Every structure is written in structure tokens, then in C-alpha cells.
Structure 1
């Protein structure tokens, strides 16, 4: 479809001789949130790792704005606007909050805009501003999630690949995280591909739901349809 920011066509990937993804097709228009949902072992994290260049596909194509990403080094994907926040968040505990955030802007040539992006993150995540000299391991789980998201955002990505942001967080923090994603989509046009076990929370903010099963896309539909159609929920989501 013309105008999609991210497209995967017949994508396959795995680990060594073990295949995980099989013939995956997906399309994510710009300025939308797509929630990838499904059971454990469905291939959701492998999908994000493949899209972000951490795992090389064995077949198929990945397109960003219609340009094939095959063979593109991870650092070049970052420069082209792809940010990946993996499960577990990846905060470096021995560095301060500010040092962690500055890592996200190391590649930026426009230093003045990088400084503005850092200020914007502090405005967006006020608890980080008061803890900028604290080490990463001194933060709460919610604060580490903020820091991981903030580090991605200082690079001003166009596409955010976000893996299990609610993992281990209190319901209040989960709600705040989901509301933030919606705010970023609405205010900045950020495109988000969100892998999330908390199906209800994900579908509440998503524009599109992508249901994965055994490494394949079982269903792609508007999130509102997945939320509201009891038959679809029972058939594909189990509730």
C-alpha cells in the first residue's frame, strides 16, 4: 500500500537452524500505533529483532518508506529513524540518567537539536529531570522504562519498535506509558510497532492489531474491531 512507513513482505527469520517467523506480511502507516499481540512463543520479539536489524532475515523484504532495508547496518537504521527498545529495557545501570540519555544522541550531528531533544525528554518525563545524576540501577522499574523510552526519543525516531513496555510494571505506570505513546503519536506523528502481552492496554491505544500465532500473522485488523468483536476476541485472543 502506497504511503506505508513500514512494510514486511514474506518475512522469514530464525535462530540458526530453528525457524521462527514464517511468511510474515505487515504494513504500518505513518503516524499510527500497531499492536503486535499473541501468546508467548508466537514470534513477536523475533519480529522486532528482525525489523531492527539485530537478526538477519532468511527470506522476504523489509521496507522503510518503500526502500529495502536488507543489508543495512543497525547504525544506519538508527540514522534513518528506527529506534528499538527491547524487552528488559536495556538501561545501563552504571551510568547516570543523563549519560544514558546522551547515548541516544551520540550519532546526531546537530548538537543544538540534540540538546533540545534532551530537554524535551526531561519535560516529558519529569521524574527523570530530578534524577538526572542518579545511576540507572538506582531507579524504580517505572523510571527505568521512562529512561529507556527517553533514550530512544532523543534520537528523534520516525519508527519506534517497543517490546513489552508494561513488563513488571504497576497498572498505574502501564496506563501512563500507554497514554504517552498515544500522546507521541498525536503530537509528533511518531509511528509505533508495539509488542505487548497486556492485550487490553495495547488495543486501547493502538490503531491496528496484528495477531501472531506460531510465527505467522493470523489476523491484522483495526484495533477497535478486535476490541469490540467478541467472536474475534474469543477466536484469536482467548477472552
Structure 2
């Protein structure tokens, strides 16, 4: 891990029950960059995000955020340290309004004025949410739900955003808008993003770094442009 890296995953083994899914995974993500983790279903991509965010506990290895070892850190403390995780399926609470869902993302903040400013920033970023702030989650479209899940994470002002399959079930236009937003957040705010995505073309189009996983191991890590141009690697692991 170098001073430029915000996240380092070092020799992580993790899974569910006695059988590991991840096998000695090593990964670094430079601060202010987007890293896209791609690969076939069952490669271990979602498990990797869950291990980083504390949803599952690795059986060995280290996860380091900005120089701090996260082993044994409660999930609420991870949020305070600047880590946000938007899981697959978006996790919107359908009975709550848009505003109530968003405010959940800032409940841990003691400075209420800062929390309100963060909420206002999200409404400026996602104008459809501002227009529907009093509507319950179940009335939103798929694209609006994705905005809401992402906005709730951003209300907490994270340094590292873990984003799992944001394009799942969305129209191509909405996918393109989501990827453009990630690029803008990186450029304008310095947000670091670890993106898991089945839509490989979209992911590599926005990422700085591409990470290819297969069977719980990292096959290769390279600049995203290099992965897009490597026909043999694409055919072997990415299906195009």
C-alpha cells in the first residue's frame, strides 16, 4: 500500500460457512479513482464488497482504509470512517418517503447543519428526487430507486463508495447517466469508488482501473483502457 492508496485488501480469505469464496485476494484502490471489478457470475465480486464493508468477516487477511486496519470494526464505525456500501438491489425502504430514506444516510452525523447541507447537495445532484421528496419509495421507478440508494450513501459524505451492480434492471439510458455521475463525483469531489458491475463495457468506460475476478481470485489488474483493448483477456474472462 502506498500513500496514494485509500483502500488496500491484503491476502483476504472470506466466504459463507466453512467454504471460502475469496482466496487470498489482494487489491489496492488509489484515492480519487474508480476501480471496476468485473467477471462472470460467481466470481466473488459481491463477496469482496461485503468483506470490505463488514457484512461478512474475513477468516484471514487485512482490509486497510487510509492506513487504518478495519478488522473487527463495527459497521457503524466504518460509516463514520467514510465507507459507504450500496448493495445490489438498492435497499430502498419502500414505506418511507424519499426524504426519509435520504435522511437515514446522515443519522450518524452529529453536526445537523452539515447533514442538512449534504441533503441539499444530493437534491441538487438528483433533481428527480427533489421533485418527489414526499413520495414513498414504492412509487419510484427503477432509475429513481437507484438514485435514491446512491443519494442516501452520499448524504454521509463518504470517502470510499462501494457500489454493487448499479445497472441491474435499468434502461441503457439510465445506466449511462449513472456512470457519468460516478465520473463527475470522482472529478468534482475526489470520491473513490469500487464498482462491481456485470455491464463490463459501461464499467470499463468510466473506470480508471479494471480488476478481473474469476473463481474467487483476482486474475489481473490493469488500466481500464488496457483491459478494453486486450481481446484475449476479454474473450477468456469477460465474454466479449
Q: Tell me the TM-score normalized by structure 2.
A: 0.98
How far 1:238 moved relative to its partner? 2.6
- 1:133 is matched with which residue? 134
- 1:50 is matched with which residue? 51
- 1:235 is matched with which residue? 236
- 1:2 is matched with which residue? 2
RMSD: 0.7
Q: Quick one: distance in 2 between partners of 1:130 and 1:78?
A: 28
Map 1:76-87 → 2, pairs under 5 A: 76-87=77-88
- 1:147-206: CA deviation from partner (whole Å, max 9, x where unpaired): 000000000000000000000000000000000000000000000000000000000000
Q: Quick one: distance in 2 between partners of 1:87 and 1:230?
A: 29
Q: Quick one: distance in 2 between partners of 1:221 and 1:143?
A: 33
Between the two proteins, the alignment pairs up a number of residues equal to 239
Q: Is the 8 A contact 2:40 2:237 kept in 1?
A: no
How far 1:67 moved relative to its partner? 1.3
- 1:223 is matched with which residue? 224
How far 1:235 moved relative to its partner? 3.0
Structure 1, gaps ≥5 residues long: none
Structure 2, gaps ≥5 residues long: none
How far 1:236 moved relative to its partner? 2.9
SS class of match (1:95)? coil
Higher mean displacement: 229-238 or 68-77: 229-238
Map 1:94-113 → 2, pairs under 5 A: 94-113=95-114
How far 1:231 moved relative to its partner? 2.6
Q: Quick one: distance in 1 between partners of 2:139 and 2:235?
A: 42
SS class of match (1:179)? helix
- 1:75-133: CA deviation from partner (whole Å, max 9, x where unpaired): 00000000000000000000000000000000001111111110110010000000000
Q: Quick one: distance in 2 between partners of 1:23 and 1:152?
A: 29
Q: Quick one: distance in 2 between partners of 1:180 and 1:153?
A: 12
- 1:18 is matched with which residue? 19
- 1:200 is matched with which residue? 201
Q: Quick one: distance in 2 between partners of 1:237 and 1:44?
A: 13
Q: Quick one: distance in 2 between partners of 1:118 and 1:11?
A: 35
